[in-house]
Structures are given as C-alpha cells and as structure tokens.
Amino acid sequence: MKNLLLFVVSFLMFLSTYTFEVIAQNDGPSLSVGGAVRYNVILTDYEDGTIDNNDAQFTWDTWRINVNAENKGVKLNFEYRFYPTFNTHFVKQGWIGYDFNEKNNIQIGVTQVPFGNLQYNSHNWWFQGPYYVGLEDDHDMGIKYTHTADKWDLMAAYFFQPEPAGPAGGSGSFGFGGSGRYSYDIVPDGNQTNYERNQLNLRGTRTFEIDNGTVNVGASGQVGQIWNQVLDETTSRYALAVHTDINYGNWNFKGQFTNYGMDAQDDNGKSVDFVNMGAYASPYAVATEMNMYSAGLSYSYDVDWGPITNLNFYNDYTYFQKNIDGFNDAHQHVLGFLLSAGDVYTYFDIARGNNHPWLTESFGQGLGQGLNDARWNTRFNINIGYYF
C-alpha cells in the first residue's frame, strides 16, 4: 500500500510540473468574502404517530463564512460553518489551487472527494442517501488533480486523512477524529477507535450532446484504510459507483448506483459488521456492506413574481440495501421544491423514510442493524437561506 501511495503522489506531482501552458494572468490579486445565514422550520410525524404544533421548531440552521482569493494563478477557497443547534463549528473546505491552463487544475488541502455525481447527487436540502455514509459531497484532507479534455472529465486524488474536526458537544476534538464535521467519516466511538487514512480516488465522466440537452455518464472508485488506534493496525475499505446526470430542457435527472465494503475491527481485534460514522457532532452506526440505489428528477420553472425568479420542483429517492444477514434495509424519499428570490433560496421539503437516522425520534438509529418493522416517518422542513 505504501508503494502505491508513493506512486500516486509522485504521479500527481509530475502532472503538476509537466510542461503545461500557464494561463496568462492579466488581472491583479483578487479577494472576495461572502457567506450565508440559514434558518429551519420543522414539523415532524415520527414514531409516536402524533403531529403537535407545540413540537414545531423554528431554528437557526447555520451561518458560514466564504473566502475566495487569487494571485498570479494561485487560488484560495475557504469555507467555515457554524451550527448553533448542534453546538459545533468546523471547516467544510479549505484548499489552495492552481490552474495550469483551462484543462488542468490541482488543489491541495480540504477539498471535495471526486466520487459520484458532483457537486451533489441530489436536488433537495437533505441530499441523497450516499451523503449519510460519507459518499456524497464529502471533503477530506489531501491533493486532487483534475483534467478536462473535450467532453471528458478525469480526476485523481490522494487523501491522507479526513478533514479536521471541530468541537462536538461543546468539547474540543480538533484533529482528524471526532464527529464535529460537515461530511460523514468513520470516527472513534465505544470500543471502536477507528479512523480513515490513506484514501485513493479515481473518477471519470463523459458528456454527450443531445437535442435540447446533455447526458453525462461516469464511474468512480475509492480505496482506503481503516486505522485502529488501540491495535495500531489497518484494514481496508472500498467504494464503487456508476452515475449519470441528464439535462433535457427544463428537466434534470440524477441517477447513481453505489456499492461499498469495509473490513473493520473493534479494539479487541474482532471483526465487526458496523462502524461508527459522525457529522454535526453526533456519531451513529453504519453497516459495513451496502448497495445504494438513488434517483432524482427535477423541473425548473422561471417566473416573474416580484423578487421570485424560479421554482425548481424535485423528487429524490434512495434505497439502502444492506448486504449483511439480519440487517434491515432503509429508505429515503424527499418531495419538494426550491424557491429562488434574489439572494434568498428556500427549500420546501417533505422528507420520508424508514430506518433513517435523521427521520426518527431515536436519532442515529437505522443505518446499522435497523428494525424489521421500522415505521415510515415524515418531516416537513423549510430551509430559508440568504447567500451573500
């Protein structure tokens, strides 16, 4: 594994120093600072089977700071988020990049993992199912190279570790462990002091022109290690995906099949059929083997209603098929629309699911063993965001 990692890093550095034609820098240094403030309105129908207006919530979802800078072709992209409801804050992304030319780019730091449909595999505020096992809009610490030629996009990356973790539950857990983070990663909990290390990613897509639209198809692969701190031993993990992103007029379809497996162990050296994954300061159990089938359809409709300029209707679904005897499958279905009005973007979502860790009174349960008679729970969610 070490020789493979050295080869990949050497290859990426070779690409970065090869005789690319450097883009002429006609402009001076640039700096932009922005961010967002978002709120949530929540109404739930969970296991108790009652809808009580007194249980409805109007919460402050998040606020964030974004910084983008460029000087002589060297770029900085940084985003830091604060989540008052979860009593945590953390880096979402923070990378230094360089465009060698219009076709070749390199990023170093906390950057998005090139896996599956990018930037998102979803249309809604909730994401699709792969997000909840760390396989959608994931960000890790490493180096990524992107090559775009004609209608091909090729990406290769090496990640030494996940992104740094912020505090969880009010206590600091800075480093690459802990569940104070934006994207789900394996975190230490209970008798599993496991961490993600040494991850390799390859992703390729091809875009086809069609009448009134485009069809993008691709495949992604990921391999990495799971390091147990107590045993000081590493085991392996992998993930594979095939994906498509189709635009036809005002319609968009995103489809993805994902398969992953993890050879994990606890602190006693015993093989386990679940790992602990964490984000937003709270870890939960996730099955070590799973297939995920996700599909989402959206329709964008322009309007002229005062400040409102667009309505984007969507229907996203994911089926979690756990490949472990005795484990129960899970579902996620989100129906809703996005309303755009100037710099304000508002998601109206009806999210339903069973054995889903976020759609239950018992937060965090569902993606491990799950229940064989899990109830379909519902959450009506309005997310209001001002982006500047």
Maximum Cα–Cα distance across the chain: 65
State pTM to two decimals. Answer: 0.91
Q: Which of 362, 359, 341 is nearest to 350 (CA)?
A: 359
What average pLDDT does this structure show over 196-209? Answer: 98
Question: pLDDT value at position 173?
Answer: 61
CA 365 vs CA 158, 198, 285: distances in Å: 32, 28, 7
Report yes or no: 315 and 296 within 8 Å, Cβ to Cβ.
yes
Q: Give CA angle at 304 (303, 309), nearest 5°.
A: 60
Burial class (CB in 10 A: 0-12, 13-18, 19+), 140: buried
Question: pLDDT value at position 50?
Answer: 75
Statement: residue 287 has pLDDT above 80: yes
CA distance from start to end of the chain:
44
Q: Per-residue confidence at 49, pLDDT binned at 50, 70, 90?
A: confident
> b vs e for 167-196, b when ≥16 Cβ sit within 10 Å of the residue's Cβ?
bbeeeebeebbbbbbbbbbbbbbeebbbbb
What average pLDDT does this structure show over 87-114? Answer: 96
Statement: residue 13 has pLDDT above 50: no
Give me the phi and psi of 180, to 5 degrees please.
Answer: -85, 80
Note the pLDDT tens digit of each residue in 160-171. Answer: 999 999 988 656
Q: Which of 160, 368, 177, 384 is nearest to 279 (CA)?
A: 177
Question: pLDDT value at position 300?
Answer: 98
Q: Which of 142, 148, 150, 153 is nearest to 118 (CA)?
A: 153
Note the pLDDT tens digit of each residue in 207-244. Answer: 999 999 999 999 999 999 999 999 999 999 999 999 99
What average pLDDT does this structure show over 313-342? Answer: 98
Question: pLDDT value at position 387?
Answer: 98
Note the pLDDT tens digit of each residue in 122-132. Answer: 999 999 999 99
**Distance from chain centroid for Cα 40:** 20
Average pLDDT, the chain: 92
Tokens of 327: 């484990």
Question: pLDDT value at position 172?
Answer: 58
What average pLDDT does this structure show over 307-327? Answer: 98
CA 376 vs CA 19, 47, 286, 321: distances in Å: 57, 8, 19, 16
Note the pLDDT tens digit of each residue in 175-184. Answer: 667 899 999 9
Whole-number Å distance between alpha carbons of 222 and 159: 11
Report yes or no: 192 and 267 within 8 Å, Cβ to Cβ.
yes
Q: What percent of the chain has pLDDT over 70?
A: 90
Question: pLDDT value at position 48?
Answer: 83
Report yes or no: 375 and 361 within 8 Å, Cβ to Cβ.
no
The residue to which tokens 């339903």 are assigned = 352
Whole-number Å distance between alpha carbons of 385 and 388: 10
What average pLDDT does this structure show over 111-119? Answer: 98
What average pLDDT does this structure show over 65-73? Answer: 96
Cα dihedral 67/72/74/76 (nearest 10): 0
